[in-house]
Amino acid sequence: MNEKLLRILPNVQKPARYVGGEYKEIIKDKKEVDLRVAFCFPDTYEIGMSNLGMRILYAIMNQMPGVWCERVFAPWGDMEEAMTEHGLPLYGLESGDPLTDFDMIAFTIGYEMSYTNVLNMLRLGNIPLHARDRKGLNQMVFAGGACMYNPEPLADFFDFFCIGEGEEMTPEILELYRKAKKEQWSKEAFLKEVAHIEGVYVPSFYEHVYKEDGRLQEIKIAEGAPERITKRIIQNLDSAHYPTDMIVPNLEIVHDRANLEVMRGCIRGCRFCQAGFTYRPVRPRSPETLLQQAIDSLESSGCHEITLSSLSTSDYRELPKLAEEMLDYCTPRKINLSLPSLRADNFSRELMLKLQQVRKSGLTFAPEAGTQRLRDAINKNVTEEEILETCRIAFEGGWNNVKLYFMLGLPTETDEDVLGIAELVYKILKTWRAHASNKKRGCRIHVATAYFVPKPFTPFQWEKQISPEEYIRRQRLLKENMPSKSIEYNWHAADVSRLEAVLARGDRRLGKLLENVLAKGERLDAWDEYFNYQLWLDAFADCGIDPNFYTVRGYEEEELLPWALISDGVQEAYLKAERKRAYASQTTPDCRTQCSACGANCLLKGGKCDG
Amino acid sequence: MDRILFEKTGKAVWMSHLDTMRLMQRAFRRAGVLLHHSQGYTPHAYVSMPLPLSVGTESLCEILEYELDSKLPISPEQLNKVMPQGIRVLRVYDSPIKTKYLTMLQAELTLYYDRGVPEGTAERITELFAAPEIKVVKRTKRGPEETDIKPLVYSASLVQKEDRILMDCMVSAQNPPLNPLLLVQAIESLLPQCKPDHATCRRIEVYDDKGNPFR
Ligand code: SF4
């Protein structure tokens, strides 16, 4: 191991996250490798190693002969300081080699507030930040991930982006790069070619021209570049590669358990949820495949806990069968099965109560809005009756904990809706009083509210975000009206959600903002310990950028949007129609009840969704 | 008592005590062995290690105790196949000796001096550990406290190499235990002119009250 690193490690928190060497880490012989990829996750090891997408792509890249993909995570503040002091550049965990030794530098980006980490990691790796300053094929920097549907704020820094699911696209890109390297193409030639791989977006081929009022006027497309970039999807999840022999971290990570993805996409169509649209169409894995994958991953990792994950696991058609079979396997082996994101319907209710997680942490609901009217407007199809009924059963069974998640600032929200949250809480409290079988320890209700962030590719992509002052007013209103002092109420800070809104719908001009705030020392924005709002405000001022332009202004439906050339398969006309229905508080049936022709089925060969 | 004897070196030394226990719980599962589990809502596998090892310290003599519901043969190879880098199981065995008899720890400290070992350093350190008391400030739950570590240091001998000093020491393992790195801390605070640029520690062997290797 690197001598400098050995000196640093005794003095930093949780050093195990900086050395690799875990069980099932992939080590290759450099002599047999002709393409090295540094796969970066712009947050800490504990968060990144919990990311299923990263683990899948790590396996897929390393499955390719001659390719060695290593992991790189963002160092915590103490480590960054020590690395800078000792002159140790950011390195791949497997080999310990600096980023500059790699051919390609890939990022998976799932959260807007990690953008500063992205730039910081390039900086710590001595990689020129701007794509135009990186000449030649070396250190080709690209990114994919859940929030790369609007990658514009990062456009200056990346050579290209991958839109959609990476399982098939990534090997195609790597093969092309390998060919380019062998035949010594220019960077320009490679980018021209890679732009024709479906799902690849090369931002330098698109020039954004702005109007005087700051809005986007035109996107000039370079000759030969695609006019539209449509996301890639995996047609059949059963045949997609799913690694069951994954790295087992040497320290505790955020999701420290085996994880199975039961399906992609969500049938629900909640109007605020970006993933609900961008992950369409709905594609399940078969229960046979899943059971086998479950057994394989549990045996390989030695985990004593497994999760079935997806955007809405209760909507997995075969959940009863799968859950039963999994419990048959897990129970005698003392393995916990956990099912996050269950809905409050009958079957899930029973299942939820059977499972470990409820016993441990209590019930969790995300009604998102306090009144039925607003829940209809956002198409969150959960009713008060369902919530109260589930609570009743749980309270009768001896449980006393309930967690509730809401958003403030949703389109059309009024004070009545805000107060509706307090009323719902009151009804839950009453239910507890009437039905709790075990009243000794009292009823614990936790309420959390988030500040609504309008996201691209949703029916609310044109909406105004309410101002921070208004958000705080609503949050206070709610606090004052909570029915009992015993209710624990937490709210998200306005600052982070405001910045998130700026970056989510941001354009290319935000590149200089990111660079500016990075230079001021900002990074690890997702962490309270490091987030410094003032630095962001200073950076806005320095760059002459008004955050309100991206938040409270809202976007016109006729306006050319920065992400206009990118498509996730869902038609814009559909989003507009959904927005109208929201204003009329009209729900849209879920995809299983009735297909509402959003357009995403066109991505499927055969054109049929499994709604 | 079912035990394993294992080494923890290289990259594995950065794993904490708790992480090492978690690793072992999983490694047994990976090797196809289901450990005895506690009852209750969140059953957990019983494993324990008598001498927690601090992060960064190597060891050639770690002991882990485990429980099975029914006896079954386990081999070191079976476990080594499923271990991360730096963990190597040396023995899997059954022992009648209770861990309270684990009394002494032999450790090797390496003090690195980037500009060569300053003259007189070895002599000064030898003198320091021959003195009747060695006071160091220990971080405790109640805040920093000054204690005399001398009664817990049974022996300490030095060998000087060009840029380093190797120190072989025998210290108390339990009741109370002494982290050998406190010897380095004593040098740093009591002999500032002999402060090394870097120091590492390795557990060599553990002994029972009669001076036999503890197993
Ligand atoms: S095409 Fe129909 S079923 Fe498929 S995701 Fe769109 S609305 Fe749902």
Shortest Cα distance from A270 to chain B (angstroms)? 34
- Fold: same for B2-96 and B101-208: yes
**Chain-chain contact of A302 with B56 (C-beta, under 8 angstroms):** no
**Chain-chain contact of B83 with A23 (C-beta, under 8 angstroms):** yes
> Does the domain spanning A24-225 belong to CATH 3.40.50.280?
yes
**Chain-chain contact of A302 with B28 (C-beta, under 8 angstroms):** yes
- Sequential DSSP letters for A298-313: HHHH--SEEEEESS-G
How many residues appear in chain A?
611
**Chain-chain contact of A301 with B30 (C-beta, under 8 angstroms):** yes
Dist. CA A394–CA A48, nearest whole Å: 34
| Token pair in block for residue A109 | 């980006």
**Chain-chain contact of A304 with B45 (C-beta, under 8 angstroms):** yes
Q: Which residue has the tokens 């078969």?
A: A286
Dist. CA A116–CA A318, nearest whole Å: 41
Domain ranges for chain A, please list them.
24-225
**Chain-chain contact of A304 with B25 (C-beta, under 8 angstroms):** yes
With a CB cutoff of 8 Å and minimum separation 6, the contacts of A287 are A318, A321, A322, A325
Residue type for position A566 = I
CB-nearest to A302 from B29, B37, B42 is B29
CB-nearest to B37 from A7, A248, A334 is A334
In chain A, residues 354-393 whose CB comes closer than 8 Å to chain B: 356, 359-360
The low-confidence residues of chain A, meaning pLDDT below 50, are none
- Sequential DSSP letters for A541-581: HHHT--GGGTTTT---TTSPPTTTTEE-SS-HHHHHHHHHH
Closest alpha carbon within chain B to A16: B14
Nearest CA to ligand 1 atom 8: A591
Shortest Cα distance from B211 to chain A (angstroms)? 32
CB-nearest to A21 from B11, B25, B29 is B11
φ/ψ of residue A141, rounded to 5: -105, 120
The whole-number pLDDT of residue A398 equals 78
Instruction: Give contacts of B85 with chain A, Cβ < 8 Å.
Output: 21-22, 25
How far apart are the CA of A597 and the centre of ligand 1, in A? 5
Closest alpha carbon within chain A to B32: A299
Domain ranges for chain B, please list them.
2-96, 101-208
Instruction: Give contacts of A20 with chain B, Cβ < 8 Å.
Output: 11
Q: Is A276 in the pocket of ligand 1 (CB under 6 A)?
A: no
Q: Is A591 in the pocket of ligand 1 (CB under 6 A)?
A: yes
Tell me how many residue pairs between chain A and chain B have CB atoms under 8 A apart.
83
Instruction: Give contacts of A95 with chain B, Cβ < 8 Å.
Output: none
Nearest CA to ligand 1 atom 5: A281
Index of the ligand 1 atom closest to the CA of residue A590 = 8
Domain B2-96 sits in CATH at: 3.30.70.580
Dist. CA B127–CA B34, nearest whole Å: 52
| Token pair in block for residue B102 | 């684990």
Ordered per-residue pLDDT tens for chain B, 215 residues: 999 999 999 999 999 999 999 999 999 999 999 999 887 767 788 899 999 999 999 999 999 999 998 888 999 999 999 999 999 999 999 999 999 999 999 999 999 999 999 999 999 999 999 999 999 988 778 888 888 999 999 999 999 998 999 999 999 999 999 999 999 999 999 999 999 999 999 999 999 999 999 99
Q: Which helix (H) or strand (E) holds B30?
A: helix B17-30
Index of the ligand 1 atom closest to the CA of residue A281 = 5
ipTM at complex level: 0.93
Task: Report whether A391 contacts A428 (CB < 8 A).
Answer: yes
Residues A75-100 have pLDDT tens digits of: 999 999 999 999 999 999 999 999 99
**Chain-chain contact of B84 with A336 (C-beta, under 8 angstroms):** no
Residue type for position A257 = R
Q: What is this structure's pTM?
A: 0.94
Nearest CA to ligand 1 atom 6: A598
Dist. CA B84–CA B134, nearest whole Å: 39
The whole-number pLDDT of residue A349 equals 63
Domain B101-208 sits in CATH at: 3.30.70
Q: How far is CA B64 from CA A65, B4, B170, in A?
A: 39, 5, 21
CA A517 and chain centroid, separation:
23
The whole-number pLDDT of residue A382 equals 86
